[in-house]
Amino acid sequence: MLLGLLAMRKKLKPKNTLTSFKELEDVHIVITGGNSGIGEATAKMLAEKNASVTIGCRTHEKSMNVIEKISQMYPMSPKITYKFLDLSSLRSTKEFVDSLDMKNVDILINNAALWGSPEPLSEDGFEQTFATNYLSHFYLTLLMIQKFNLKRIINVSSGLYYKGEIEPGNLNKLVEVPEKLDKDMYRQLYSTSKLAQIYFARELASRYPDISSVSLHPGLVYTDLARFVKPKSKILSLLGRLLPLIIRTPEEGAATSVFCCLEEELQNGGYYGDCQAETLKPIACDPEVQKRLWDFSLKLVQDKTNSLL
């Protein structure tokens, strides 16, 4: 069994590692979901590169603990700050952007994600996974483009995007809660939201060519992402306890996010993994889906917020 775990670990470990020695002085980065998992590791690694970092999260105490820990690790790094952000609410998303009082933000990392939730609907009445993982990030990004001179937008997607389903003739399905919510459906909803993030990055690249917009996958990483989805058997529970021995650490998962901050030249609209560009599957390359999803998303947030975007 041990040999099997070691073989699986070798297969899942990153193919390439972060090697850049570039510093990020005078660069301000906003990252959503920066108080745990990949987001926390990303914030820590960016602080090590001397970036100024603002994390947007729901939990104040947890976020302040992370900031204190990072500040102790890198006492000479620029300021690390926290602002409240609840991505299940378009109202909170707007308030978050309004609260940002720095002169400029250079890089936005749309990192926060949800897999399964005890609340099926967002504050705005949309299916929770789609609202949190994609739609609020869509709204956040457009607000940030209006307010700041962004240079890069990085969407943390997932290698599971190919299991997503976006039907251009039935986009309303994206915001509706399925009749049956179980483990398989949570995976479907998550995958669909991550597919939408890839399309979003590609359309951003088309509409805002002066901003480098990319999406990426972090690999299979050990985090508390699926904390609301409980194993159905003791065997699955045991396998869950073995995961830290097999899959990537948050730091390994964060490497590609940091790479996309550091790399001089990115493929605008590109998709990255293991600190290099990767080829997308055809499911993420349909221009009709890309355009219709943008128009659909824009109408949703405009109707709910009365915003001019």
> What is residue 1's predicted lDDT score, i.e. its pLDDT?
45
% of the chain beyond a pLDDT of 90: 76
Instruction: Tell me what the mean pLDDT of segment 103-115 comes to.
Output: 96
> What is residue 5's predicted lDDT score, i.e. its pLDDT?
45
108, two tokens: 């936005």
Confidence of residue 221 (pLDDT cuts 50, 70, 90): confident
Least confident of 22-31, 109-118, 144-153, 243-252: 243-252
Confidence of residue 13 (pLDDT cuts 50, 70, 90): low
**pLDDT of residue 6 exceeding 50:** no
Q: How many helices (H) and strands (E) does the chain have?
A: 10, 8
> What is residue 220's predicted lDDT score, i.e. its pLDDT?
84
Report CA 21 to chain centroid distance, whole Å. 24
SS3 at position 108: strand
Residues 6 or more apart from 91 whose CB is under 8 A from it?
A: 123, 305
Confidence of residue 26 (pLDDT cuts 50, 70, 90): very high
**DSSP code string of 163-187:** G----TT-GGGGGSPPS--SHHHHH
Least confident of 8-12, 17-21, 87-91, 112-116: 8-12
d(CA 44, CA 33): 13
Which member of 82, 139, 190, 199 is catalytic?
190
Average pLDDT, the chain: 89
* Residue type (1 letter), 58: R
> What is residue 235's predicted lDDT score, i.e. its pLDDT?
46
Confidence of residue 91 (pLDDT cuts 50, 70, 90): very high
> What is residue 76's predicted lDDT score, i.e. its pLDDT?
80
d(CA 309, CA 295): 11
SS3 at position 91: helix
| pLDDT per position as a tens digit, 159-214 | 999 999 999 999 999 999 999 888 899 999 999 999 999 999 999 999 999 999 99
More confident residue, 34 or 32: 32
190 in catalytic set: yes
| pLDDT per position as a tens digit, 34-84 | 899 999 999 999 999 999 999 999 999 999 999 999 999 988 878 899 999
